Amino acid sequence: MCGIAGFMYADRQHPVDPETLVAMAAIQYHRGPDGFGYQRMDGIGLAHARLSIVDLDQSRGRQPFVSTDGKLMLTKNGELYDYQRIRADLTSRGDRFQTKSDSEMIMHLYPRTGLDKMLTHLRGEFAFALFDKEQDRLMLVRDRFGIKPLYWTQVNGVLVFGSELKVLFAHPDVPREFDPQGTFHQLMQTIVPGSTAFKGIHQVKPGHYLDIKRVNGQLQISEQKYWDMPFPEASERSLEYDENEWIEAVREKLLEAVQLRLEADVPVGCYLSGGIDSCSIIGLAAAARQNPVKAFTIGFDNKAYDESEIATEMAQSAGADQDIMMLDASHLYDNFVETLWHTERTIYNTLGVAKLLMSRHVRNVNYKVVLTGEGSDELFGGYPAFRRDMFLHGLDHLSQGERTEWEKLLAEQNKLFKGAMLAEDEIHNAALESKIGFTPSCLQPWLASAARVPDILNTDLLSQLKGYDPGAAIAAQLDGDRLKNRHPLDKAQYVWIKTMLEGQILTWGGDRVDMANSMEARPAFLDHHLAELAAKVPPSLRIKGKTEKYILREAMKGLLPEVLYKREKFAFMAPPAHTDKKKWNAMRELSSNYLSESAIKDAGLLSVEGVDALFKSHDDPSITAATQNKLDAVINHMLGVQILHKQFVAEDIPTLAKKRAQELGWHA
C-alpha cells in the first residue's frame, strides 16, 4: 500500500514542476514512509510515496515505474494477488521483469491485452495511474469495491489526482472550497457516489476508470465502468438448489481469498472483533499458517459495546496470539481532530477514532499488514437493515401480523443502534422508490438526519440548495439496470455497497485510518471472485428465516465456537457520546472550540442559531435513546465540517506540503 499523485496538462509542452510532485508525495508521507519517487514525461508528472510490503529492496521497488522502451509510466497504490503465477506465465512468454513487485505486472499485461482485458486479471485492492505515451492517454483506475481511494479534479487546463484530498490541495492551482451539496451530505452521513465535500473534487468510482486523452489542446475525459456487483435477475435464479453445494463453494472461495492475502514479505496479523466475519478470517488464517497468528482486538470500557470477551474465546479456539487494546471511550474525542485530517470526511461515530488508535498500536508492535472482516455483511446480508428489507419486501408468504412481529423483534435486538443502524420511524423517498421499488432501510436513518440539516445550515448555503433532494441525488447515481428485476435483498445489498460500504466503512472505517499509520488492511471478503459467487447465492441462504449470514455461518461452523455460531449480528461501534457523561463532556469541550459562535461565523457553513437549537433538542429529557443516537451523529458531523474547513480551507496546504517535504529531506 502506498500513496500516489500526479497531474497532466492539456498542453504537452507545459513544464512539470518537480517540487510540486515531491510536495504531493510528502503530504501523504503517512501512506508511504519507506521512500518516494517521481517521473515526468510530455506535460505529465507522476509521484509515489512507498510503503514496502512486497519486494522490500528499495532500489528495485521504487515507483513510478517507466517501461524499458520509455512508452509507459505507472504509479500504483494497493496490492495485487496471484501475481507470482501471472509473472511466471509472462516470463515464459518472453517478458523480463526488473523487480519482484506485484505492481510491475501491469506494465507487462497492458501492452499485451489492453486496459479492459488486463483489468479482468487484476485481483485485489488497488488504485493506479498508467500513462501511455504513444496514445497520449492517462488512465486512472480504481478497484472494484473502492477499497483504495482515488480523487481527481480538472482546473485551468490541468487534471490533478491523488490518493487523498490533501494531495490534490498540495497543487497550487487546485481551489479549496466547500460544495453546498457536498456539505449537506457530510451533515447527513451518506455521500453521493463519486462526490466529495469540496467543489469540483471527484472520486473515481469503484469498478471504474477515468480515461484522459489530449485532443487538439484539450483534455478529453470519459468515465468507464469495468465491473459491478453481478446480482442476477430474479428470473435467472433457480428455485431448486443444493444447499450443501453453496456452502462448500463459499468455504472454498473464502479460504482461497484468505490464503492469497497472507502472502507478504513482512509479518501479517488479523483484526479480531466478536463477529463471525473477523472470527472466520482468523480461524482460516490460523489453520493455514504454521505459526500462531497475531490477533488485534479493540475493547471498550462500556460493556454494552465491548466485544473483547467473545473475541478472546475465538482467539483461544484458534490458538492465536491475541493483543487487546482497551479504550476509555471518553478519550476518543481527544483524537477526533487528527482522525478527521486523515478521513477527510465527517464521521458519525468515534469508532473511526478507535480504529486510528488501533492501527497506530499495530504499527508500534512492528506489524504493517492485517487481514480484516469488512465486506462480509455486504455479501451475505448481515446488517439489520437487510433483514428488515427481506421480511418487508422479499418474503411474500409472510402475513402482516408476522411482519409486525419480526420487525418488533429486530428493533428489540438492535435497540442500542436504533436511530443509527435502523431508522426510528419509517422514511420514504419518492426518487429512491421509483428506481428501487422501496426506500432501502440502510438509507432511512440518514434520510431522517437529512431532515434536520436545513435548520443547521448557513442561510447562504441553504439558499443554494433550494429544492435539493439528497435521496434523489443518490438515486441518480445508482445503475438502474443493476436494480431492475432483482430480488429485494439484492437491491438492498447493492445500494449499501454503492453508498455506505465505499463512503463509510472503507473510508473512515478502513483505508484512511489504517494508512494514517502506514498500516495496510486487507479485506479478504472483498475478493471479487468470492463476491461474484456471493451475488449468485440464493437470497434465502443469505438470510434464512430470522438468521442473517446463514450460509457463511454454515460454511464456517466447523471453526466457530458455538456461542459465535449462534450469535446474531452485533454492530461494531464505539459508545455514542450520550451514553457516558465523561464522553459527553469531552465532546462538548471540543464543541466549545469548533462550534463556538465565532468559529461558526468564520467558516460560514453552519447557522449559530441552528446549532444551538440542536444541542437544546439533545438536552430535552423527553427524547428517546434512538433520537439521541441520531442527534449524536449530527453533532459529530457538525464538528466534522467545522474541523475540515479549518484543516483544508483555512490552512495553506501547498505551503504545508512543501514544508513537510523539507522536514523529510525529500527534494527534486
**Catalytic positions, written as ranges:** 2
Burial of 507 (0-12, 13-18, 19+ CB in 10 A): buried
In the beta sheet, which residues pair with residue 77? 127
From the list 142, 235, 155, 256, the residue with the least C-alpha distance to 199 is 155
Q: Specify the 3-state DSSP secondary structure of 283.
A: helix
Residues 6+ apart with CB under 8 A from 92: none
Are 410 and 388 in contact by the 8 Å Cβ rule? The answer is yes
Q: Which grid coordinates belong to 651? A: 490552512
Give the count of beta carbons closer than 10 Å to the beta carbon of residue 604: 12
Instruction: Verify cis geometry, omega within 30 degrees of 0, for the bond prior to 64.
Output: yes
Q: In the structure grid, which three cell numbers stand for residue 551, read together?
A: 450460509
d(CA 443, CA 493): 11
Q: Pairing between strand 369-372 and 269-271?
A: parallel
Rounded Cα distance, 483 and 471, in Å: 16
Closest alpha carbon to 497 in 282, 77, 279, 205 = 205
Please list, in sequence order, all residues whose beta carbon lies within 8 angstroms of the beta carbon of residue 561, skipping any fewer than 6 positions away: 313, 314, 317
- Amino acid symbol at 361: H
Q: Report the chain's C-alpha Rg in angstroms.
A: 24
Contacts of 220 (CB under 8 A, 6+ apart): 212, 213, 214
Nearest Cα neighbor of 235 from 497, 525, 486, 553 is: 486
Q: For the residues of 105-171, what is the DSSP string, one character each?
A: HHHHHHHHH-HHHHHHH--EEEEEEEEETTTTEEEEEE-SS--S--EEEEETTEEEEESSHHHHHTS
Amino acid sitting at position 380:
F
Give the C-alpha separation, 33 to 51, whole Å. 6
Main-chain dihedrals φ then ψ at residue 596, nearest 5 degrees: -70, 165
Complete edge-to-edge strand list for the sheet that includes strand 72-80: 65-66, 72-80, 124-132, 137-142, 208-215, 218-225
The pair phi, psi for residue 387, each rounded to 5°, is -60, -40
Contact 129, 139 (CB under 8 A): yes
> Where is 162: in which H helix or E strand?
strand 158-162
Query: How far is it, in rounded angstroms, from Cα 162 to Cα 183?
Result: 21
Exposure string (b/e) for 259-273, b if CB count within 10 Å is 16 or more?
bbbbbeeeebbbbbb
Integer Cα distance of 653 and 659 in angstroms: 10
d(CA 552, CA 279): 11
Residue 149, helix vs strand vs coil:
coil
How many CA atoms lie less than 13 Å away from 57 in the CB half-sphere? 7
Q: Which three cell numbers stand for residue 85?
A: 503465477
Q: Helix %, strand %, coil % for the chain, to 5?
A: 50, 15, 35
Instruction: Kindly state the cell numbers that stand for 204.
Output: 473515481
* Cα dist from 641 to 188, 354, 444, 505, 649, whole Å: 11, 20, 22, 19, 11
